[in-house]
């Protein structure tokens, strides 16, 4: 069974500083990997995804992530944090189990705090 | 395009009562998912439909939870009877392909 580990339930950075949110996964087959952002009382918004091809993936709002198979990692980065980036971030994996089952397995989430 | 619609947005019930949530996916999306998100945790898949058939319900507590998607479009998730630990946000998502999921805003259930 697949699983996702997000290191750090809370991450605090200063405005303008580098954002790094860590995600490691386990999967029995080449996975599809996702990062979602969730603002209070809202649903999940897709930031970016990796399916196949280029391992460096660019998403919305200046975020990007790199798929590293050897490290089973998919860390999320942003060069310069903005106050509006404060939210909950979730890493998720889908490894397309047999029979068409492709629901997502999520990590526990990382709460990103931006210090002014 | 219109997003995934869910209702109600909030629901408060007493334990042992029943409750139902409704989801209308994006038009043309054959696959529909229900997730449960307990406070402080990531969402957990409860059930996946492909059109009106169940693909995966391995994590659905079938003694109290049920879901249906009779015409392959709208879906309803029901809990009967509710327990305190069912307090959570219930998220519906739909997809056309396995790399494109769209989530609704969710229904926040409080069981007292």
Instruction: Write the DSSP string, A9-34.
Output: SEEEEETTSPEEEEEEEE-SSPPEEE
pLDDT at A66: 95
A97 has pLDDT over 70: no
C-beta atoms of A51 and B56 within 8 A:
no
C-beta atoms of A94 and B45 within 8 A:
no
C-beta atoms of B56 and A101 within 8 A:
yes
Interface test with B, best of A1, A95, A102 (most B CBs within 10 A): A102
A99 has pLDDT over 80: no
* Residue A75 vs residue B71, higher pLDDT: A75
What is the torsional sign of CA B21, B27, B30, B31? negative
Residue A95 binned pLDDT confidence (cut-offs 50, 70, 90): low
Q: What percent of chain B has pLDDT over 70?
A: 97
B61 has pLDDT over 70: yes
Q: What percent of chain B has pLDDT over 90?
A: 86
For A22-31, A77-86, A104-113, which range has the lowest pLDDT when averaged over its residues?
A: A22-31
User: Helices (H) and strands (E) in chain A — how many of each?
Assistant: 0, 11
Query: Which chain A residues are within 8 Å of B93, Cβ to Cβ?
Result: 44
A46 has pLDDT over 90: yes
Comparing C-alpha atoms, which of A114, A104, A109 is closest to residue A23?
A: A109
Q: Which residues pair with B54 in a beta bridge?
A: B49
* Average pLDDT of the residues in A9-32: 93
Say if residues B67 and B90 touch (Cβ distance below 8 Å).
Answer: no
- By C-alpha distance, the chain B residue nearest A51 is B99
pLDDT at B72: 84
Please count the other Cβ atoms lying within 10 Å of the Cβ belonging to residue A106.
Answer: 23
C-beta atoms of B99 and A51 within 8 A:
yes
pLDDT at B12: 98
């Amino acid at each position: 069974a697949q699983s996702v580990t997000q290191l750090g339930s809370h991450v605090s950075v200063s405005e303008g500083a580098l954002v790094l949110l860590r995600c490691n996964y386990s999967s029995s087959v080449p996975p599809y990997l996702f990062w979602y952002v969730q603002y209070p009382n809202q649903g999940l918004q897709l930031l970016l995804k990796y399916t196949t091809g280029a391992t460096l993936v660019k998403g919305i709002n200046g975020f990007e992530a790199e798929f590293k198979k050897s490290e089973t990692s998919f860390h999320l980065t942003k060069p310069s944090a903005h106050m509006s980036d404060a939210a909950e971030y979730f890493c998720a994996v889908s490894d397309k189990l047999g029979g068409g089952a492709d629901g997502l397995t999520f990590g526990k989430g990382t709460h990103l705090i931006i210090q002014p | 395009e219109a997003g995934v619609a869910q209702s109600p947005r909030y629901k408060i019930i007493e334990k042992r009562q029943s409750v139902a949530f409704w989801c209308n996916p994006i038009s043309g999306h054959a696959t529909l998912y229900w997730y449960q998100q307990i406070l402080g945790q990531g969402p957990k898949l409860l059930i996946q439909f492909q059109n009106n058939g169940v693909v995966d319900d391995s994590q659905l507590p079938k003694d109290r939870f049920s879901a249906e998607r009779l015409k392959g479009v709208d879906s309803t998730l029901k809990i009967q009877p509710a327990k305190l630990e069912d307090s959570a946000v219930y998220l519906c998502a739909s997809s056309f392909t396995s790399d494109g999921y769209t989530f609704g805003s969710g229904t926040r259930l409080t069981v007292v």
